[in-house]
Amino acid sequence: MQFDYKKSGLTILLIFSMVISSTAQTGFHAERAFDDLQAQCDLGPRNPNSPGANAAIQFFQSILEPLADTLHLQNFQLDDPYSSGKLNLTNIVARFQPQKSQRIILCAHWDTRPRAEYDPSHPERAMIGANDGASGVAILLEIARQLKANPVNPGIDIILFDGEDYGAPRDLQYYLLGSRYYVEHPYPPMAQQVILLDMVGDAELTIKVDPVSYRAAPRLVEEIWTLAGDIGYDQFQFVAGASMYDDHVPFIEQGIQAIDIIDFEYPGPDNAYWHTHQDTPDKCSAESLEAVGNTVLSWLYQQ
């Protein structure tokens, strides 16, 4: 994910109405989700064309194949902007009730950066990406287990995007590779709402509102943040955070309601662990995965 410099500094007036509390107790298993975060990191860096990326695809397939109604490995190739070679990319698309026209996409990027440009010691080395990569995926794998055990009303597409975090700083055209490809090659029917999870594992979790998301889908943002508060998760704060250029943007450009749930203060406002080798599992927590996973799953059961 890349900070959107053009839109930074925007503040928005956030007004929300309290809704009647309905805090379904879901079966979301936070320790199991954290194990999936750790397991991804144990595979090493998972940037395009790396051994870790191939191992990660096998890992996702082994978990999702028995859970989803249909599982697609959406393979595609692009010219590598930073070498003469090709990038081999794979979106993982796990569909639940694929015949339903009312649909929701839950998504996260599974790739990690081929570099850690803000690391003081080894900026040229590929990252592990515990928070920036593994955290959102870990929550979605656990949600997939819950959807198998207790289906929800709408059709759900869980999509793990490749190539989100490939670009060099400010090379915005080389970010969001998987989500851009997906909106051009979707499995129909296309969802009406999209919830993106990115950097949701920080042990010091504070999730402010991305103004890009709020402009695109204010009611969806209000529903999620209000529900989190009703359950008692004070990690969700209904104030404007930084504007995000992330995998929700290609959907918004298609006129689809899409929001990004992201904590862009890792661990604090200086974002010191972001795109460094400090982004490791010990900086993340099961409690944070639970706050996000249980909120999103509770919202799904209300649909």
Query: Rule CB under 5 A: which residues touch Zn ion?
Result: 1, 132, 165
Backbone angles phi, psi at 78, to 5 degrees: -135, 155
* 165/263 with CB nearer Zn ion: 165
d(CA 254, CA 269) in angstroms, rounded, equals: 32
Min CB(113)–Zn ion separation in Å? 6
**CA distance to 128, 186, 213, 217, per residue, from 282 (Å):** 12, 36, 29, 33
Residues 6+ apart with CB under 8 A from 260: 1, 196, 198, 210, 212, 213, 244, 246, 247, 248
- Among 24, 25, 2, 32, which Cα is nearest to 289's? 32
Dihedral pair phi/psi, residue 91, rounded to 5°? -90, 135
Instruction: Give residues with Cβ within 8 angstroms of 138, minimum separation 6.
Output: 33, 34, 36, 37, 40, 201, 289
Min CB(132)–Zn ion separation in Å: 4
To Zn ion, the closest distance from the beta carbon of 1 in angstroms equals 5
Q: How far is the CB of 235 from Zn ion (least distance, A)?
A: 20
Decide whether 233 or 274 has the Cβ nearer to Zn ion: 274
The rounded distance, in Å, linking the Cα atoms of 250 and 177 is 10
Distance of closest approach, residue 78 Cβ to Zn ion, in angstroms: 18
Residue 28 or 264 having the CB closest to Zn ion = 264
Give whichever of 8 and 102 is closer to Zn ion, judged by the CB atom: 8
Least distance to Zn ion, CB of residue 31, Å: 25
Of 155 and 201, the one with the shorter C-beta distance to Zn ion is 201
How many other CB atoms are there within 10 angstroms of residue 95's CB atom?
21
The two beta strands, 70-79 and 86-96, are: antiparallel
Minimum CB distance to Zn ion smaller for 40 or for 257: 40
